[in-house]
Chains A and B, each alone.
Chain A
Amino acid sequence: NAGVTQTPKFQVLKTGQSMTLQCAQDMNHNSMYWYRQDPGMGLRLIYYSASEGTTDKGEVPNGYNVSRLNKREFSLRLESAAPSQTSVYFCASSEAYPGLIPNEQFFGPGTRLTVL
């Protein structure tokens, strides 16, 4: 099993460009998450998806959109990139529906994004 995979690993964008970060998991997990990690700050939730077909905002959703394409895939889109979105982005997944029991989250390798 590959676990959680993310593409690309690195990306450089110019201000105003758009891009989509891809995430896939092969563990048949229901829930998927997108986080950003910035120096000196804890991981912050951008969006999450409790199940296929549903998405919800996290702590820092502005400037991002997501799509839960199917149970396996959860993509994050930057429509018009800004330098403030320079960060490392992590996708994660967990087994059960949120709110029932706490679940371990499994993280992807991360995407390092620089916006010039």
Chain B
Amino acid sequence: KNEVEQSPQNLTAQEGEFITINCSYSVGISALHWLQQHPGGGIVSLFMLSSGKKKHGRLIATINIQEKHSSLHITASHPRDSAVYICAVSPNFGNEKLTFGTGTRLTIIP
């Protein structure tokens, strides 16, 4: 079973700061997912990536397959970015039984 670890568990930053959230996993994967969950809210998929880098607005996700590591970056952070960010991995050509990290709680202070 893949072990997925996220760091930090909690992160508080000032509005405008550059944010980095990390995710590492133990076994080869076919894809890595970044998800966002607002307090009391549902879960939204931000990115799914198998290699390289993806960008959407102020969010950037990178993955290093050799290092088994991914990062989620937020540029010019805003209070509305406050949420839990969850990393999940798809197994290597097996099935869609995702393995999830426990999440990083991000708080952006105005």
Contact = CB atoms under 8 A, between A and B. Distances in A.
A42 B85 CA distance: 11
A45 B44 CA distance: 17
Interface stretch (B11-19, B57-65, B70-78, B93-101): B93-101
A92 B97 CA distance: 12
Among A33, A40, A41, A104, the one with the most B-chain Cβ atoms within 10 Å of its Cβ is A104
Contacts of A90: 42-43
Nearest to B29: A102
Contacts of B90: 102-103
Interface of A is mostly: loop
Interface string A100-116: 01111111111000000
A105 B42 CA distance: 13
A8 to B, nearest CB: 15
A43 B100 contact: yes
Contacts of A42: 4, 86, 88, 99-103
Given A102-B30, A102-B50, A110 B97 contact: no
Contacts of B103: 42
Interface residues of A, number: 27
A75 interface: no
Given A42-B86, A43-B86, A90-B43, A105 B96 contact: yes
A94 interface: yes
A105 B97 CA distance: 11
A92 to B, nearest CB: 8
A61 B20 CA distance: 35
B83 interface: no
A90 B95 CA distance: 19
A109 B37 CA distance: 10
6 contacts: A43-B86, A94-B96, A99-B93, A99-B95, A103-B90, A105-B96
